[in-house]
Structure 1
């Protein structure tokens, strides 16, 4: 997303970014307050942010964005080099002087692909199980990946790690099943020492030929085993 009060500056940046593979401009803003609203609406990965703007300046915008749930990377773009220290203190991921050179912009966007300090800070509670459970998150080789709780079908524990099976795949997380069970008790039920299942996605309780029980879930062909110890509780819950 591009934030600059000069239309020609926004157009020049847009044209450069459109030549970069894997990048797209999803929105623009010409002043600070609307920029914050657009970031909330569009959730861009990175914001190219002018420092000098009418009303709320870029430094104020960056400070507000840093306090959001998952802040975007911020790259300051300005004609005033004296703001470099302030930009650094605002946890910016880059600082470019106008007129912006294509190579410098490409390098700044490449650096912005790595999670920022603000992003790591915002996700720290979720990574260690202390934060609000709207999402589960994990560090991957590409950065930080997170999945909305509403999209998770079930959790499966194996040794020291837990897998979150969701609508779009699988995510390996560090939170224990016990921690997840406590945080998500309203929407998930423990059906096995290794399994925690989303109640909303359960379609049936079935019995195998050997007498063991399992649950079938929406959106996935795999069944989830139900332990004998949990069977009566699961059956009562489904019947209610």
Structure 2
């Protein structure tokens, strides 16, 4: 991949949808559209011949569907990054399994497409820096990413980007800078799955990224309060006060 040019292959069996994607890509700088495939088998063949950096991949296609195409592409080295572009939202779990970097719902919004392309660029840069363009050979033992719904589809959120997690009834809210997303999860399972070197549970309803904590103070009742990087505060639960001493090395 060139420093600024992203080689893109479109795979979509709907001519109008493929044409719309082409028009949207033409308005975005740094894109080299190398081809358009109209079915799954053609997508695999063209990806092998054209070595794109990114495949914009529909899911419901004749022959091989998008999930099967993504699995096939994952066996190549270096494998292209995949962004699913679909009219259906029920394939999110399968998309997660094949490590798609984003999941866009039709009709595609230009700003949402631009965000997804930037996510792909970042993913490619990190992958190249870590191993010359190949996927890591060993999966992490910890939860590394989330899929969350937004108004344009589903977004992939790296766990390391999450500042803090707060409980809201049967849901957990992921806070990433000024934005947040709800996911259906439990606080206990998140605590078990997240890397304890990166995250710490401070309250029955709050997990915080360790480097997002700027300090601790005591409130008038003597209870610990975590001072966070965004100038907010998080009360430390009585059952979790030992975490303060552990973080401070006391």
Match of 2:62 among 72, 76, 88: 88
1:170-193, CA deviations, whole angstroms, 9 ceiling, x for partnerless residues? 111111111111111231111111
Give structure 2 stretches of 5+ with no counterpart.
Answer: 1-6, 11-18, 49-53, 68-83, 100-140
Correspondence list, 1:1-240, <5 A: 2-3=8-9, 17=23, 24=28, 26-28=30-32, 30=34, 49-50=36-37, 58-60=43-45, 72-74=56-58, 87-92=61-66, 112=85, 114=87, 120-123=93-96, 133-184=143-194, 185-218=196-229, 220-239=230-249
CA distance in 2, matches of 1:15, 1:88: 19
CA distance in 1, matches of 2:197, 2:161: 15
CA distance in 2, matches of 1:234, 1:15: 50
Q: State the 1:214 CA deviation.
A: 1.1
Change (3 A) 1:188 1:136: same
TM-score, normalised relative to structure 2: 0.54
Preserved contact between residue 145 and residue 156 of structure 2 (Cα < 8 Å): yes
1:56-100, CA deviations, whole angstroms, 9 ceiling, x for partnerless residues? 95333569xxxxxx974349xxxxxxxxx9x5122259xxxxxxx
Preserved contact between residue 114 and residue 142 of structure 1 (Cα < 8 Å): no
Change (3 A) 1:117 1:27: farther
Change (3 A) 1:60 1:214: farther
TM-score, normalised relative to structure 1: 0.56
CA distance in 2, matches of 1:116, 1:26: 29
Partner of 2:108: none
Change (3 A) 1:173 1:125: farther
Partner of 1:102: none
Give structure 1 stretches of 5+ with no counterpart.
Answer: 5-12, 31-47, 64-69, 76-84, 94-110
Preserved contact between residue 205 and residue 235 of structure 1 (Cα < 8 Å): no
SS of residue in 1 equivalent to 2:160: helix
SS of residue in 1 equivalent to 2:244: helix
